[in-house]
Every structure is written in structure tokens, then in C-alpha cells.
Chain A
Amino acid sequence: KAGVTQTPRYLIKTRGQQVTLSCSPISGHRSVSWYQQTPGQGLQFLFEYFSETQRNKGNFPGRFSGRQFSNSRSEMNVSTLELGDSALYLCASSLGADYYGYTFGSGTRLTVV
């Protein structure tokens, strides 16, 4: 059974640009959530999607957005990149309820220069 796949693994962008990250969940998982991991702030929740609907959102500016497609794949977009957006972005998939826990991908390392 394939795990959670995140692409690309590494990304370097210039300040002011925008970026799109992709996440393919485990087959059968309908929930996808995104987290930002930085040395200073640790792991912070961005948002969660279930069956193409955003169910929960963290405290991030509107530059951070996401969406989920009918096949449960999800994309995260960050517009007008800032240096502080440099981070490891982790995607997690789940069957849809907290009870089941979450399976994470290996993340996308975004560097903004």
C-alpha cells in the first residue's frame, strides 16, 4: 500500500513568487491536512480538507490556501512568498476521524531566498 506522497521534495523560490505543493494521500483516505514545521515555531496546523471541503483552518494569513480534488489529492498554495515561509511543509492523510490518527508524508522543504 503506497504511503502519502508529497511533491516536490525540495523547492527554492524567490521572495514575492508563489508556490504550489502537492500531496497524494493513502488510497481510501479522504482527509488531508497540512502542517508547517520550522525550528522556531515547531509544527503548526495550516488546514484540513475532507471530501473537497475545508473543515478546519489554522492561524495563517490568507496567502496560504489549499484545495482538494475529487480523488482526494490536495494542493497547497502560498502566494507572495516571504523569507519567513521557508519551512518543511508536511501533509498528512487520514480516514477522516481523529480516532484513526494521521499518516504523514516526507514533506516538501521550501526555501525562500
Chain B
Amino acid sequence: AQTVTQSQPEMSVQEAETVTLSCTYDTSESDYYLFWYKQPPSRQMILVIRQEAYKQQNATENRFSVNFQKAAKSFSLKISDSQLGDAAMYFCAYSRQGAQKLVFGQGTRLTINP
């Protein structure tokens, strides 16, 4: 069974600085997708960034970028120029091609200090 591990239950960073959230996953599949979701206190899960396993290039969305290391099965999220609105729970998720379901990590609570 596929598993996703986020080893940092909590992280904090000063506003305007850069922070990296870690995620590792375990799978024997070759075709899959990886996601980072953000869950603020409003409870809604918001898609931050997505990576296709077959793409070697790391995905980037504005201040958010990933470091995808397929061989190491690592998928970290870097947030640059952190803003107060970035404070939330961040979940790393995996989806096997054709599975139509997400497997989530346990989450990392990110605090932004002003």
C-alpha cells in the first residue's frame, strides 16, 4: 500500500523568509501524481501545487515550488517570501494513476511569525 510521510508536525518561519516542508512517499508504481494541499482554519483544502511523476522538471506556482526527487521518493514544498496568509496545515498527497483517490500525509502545521 502506498504511504505518505510528513516528518515535521509543526514548522514556524518569520514573515518574508523561506521555509521548506518535507514529504516522502512509498510506492512501487511508476505513474502517479503528487500534490500539496493547504488547509486554513476555514477547513477547505486548497490545492497549492501539483507534480506529475513523469515530469523531471519541478513544478512552480508563484512563491511555491517543489523539489521532486523521484528516486529518493521525496517531494518537498518550498514557500518563498512567506506571508501571514500562508499560515495553515499543509498536506502532502499521492495519487496513483487511475486510482481516483488521494493518500494523504499527516500534515505539517505552518506558523508565520510577524
Determine the chain B residues whose CB is within 8 A of the CB of A92 once the complex forms: 45, 102
Residue A48 interfacial (CB < 8 Å)? yes
Residue B28 interfacial (CB < 8 Å)? no
- Check A104/B44 contact, CB under 8 A, given A55-B100, A56-B99, A98-B97: yes
Interface size class of A (residues with CB under 8 A): 20 to 34
Determine the chain B residues whose CB is within 8 A of the CB of A106 once the complex forms: 42-44
Cβ 8 A contact of B45, one of A55, A90, A96, A98: A90
Residue of A nearest to B45 (CB): A104
Determine the chain A residues whose CB is within 8 A of the CB of B33 once the complex forms: 98-99, 101
Q: Provide the bound-state CA to CA distance between A90 and B39, in Å.
A: 12
Q: Provide the bound-state CA to CA distance between A112 and B53, in Å.
A: 40
Residue A58 interfacial (CB < 8 Å)? yes
Residue B98 interfacial (CB < 8 Å)? yes
Q: In the assembled complex, how far is the CB of residue B112 from the closest CB belonging to chain A, in whole angstroms?
A: 22
Q: In the assembled complex, how far is the CB of residue A87 from the closest CB belonging to chain B, in whole angstroms?
A: 12
The total of Cβ contacts below 8 Å across the A-B interface reads 59
Task: Determine the main DSSP class of A at the interface with B.
Answer: strand
Interface size class of B (residues with CB under 8 A): 20 to 34
Residue B35 interfacial (CB < 8 Å)? yes
Interface mask (B1-45 → A, CB under 8 Å = 1, otherwise 0): 000000000000000000000000000000011010100001111
Q: Provide the bound-state CA to CA distance between A28 and B107, in Å.
A: 30
Residue A43 interfacial (CB < 8 Å)? yes
Determine the chain B residues whose CB is within 8 A of the CB of A48 once the complex forms: 100-101
Determine the chain A residues whose CB is within 8 A of the CB of B98 once the complex forms: 98
- Check A56/B101 contact, CB under 8 A, given A92-B45, A106-B44: yes
Chain B residues packing against A (C-beta within 8 Å): 32-33, 35, 37, 42-47, 50, 52, 91, 95-107
Known: A48-B100, A101-B50, A102-B102. 17 other contacts (CB 8 A): A33-B102, A43-B91, A43-B104, A45-B101, A56-B101, A58-B101, A88-B43, A90-B43, A94-B100, A96-B100, A98-B33, A99-B52, A101-B35, A104-B37, A104-B46, A106-B42, A106-B43
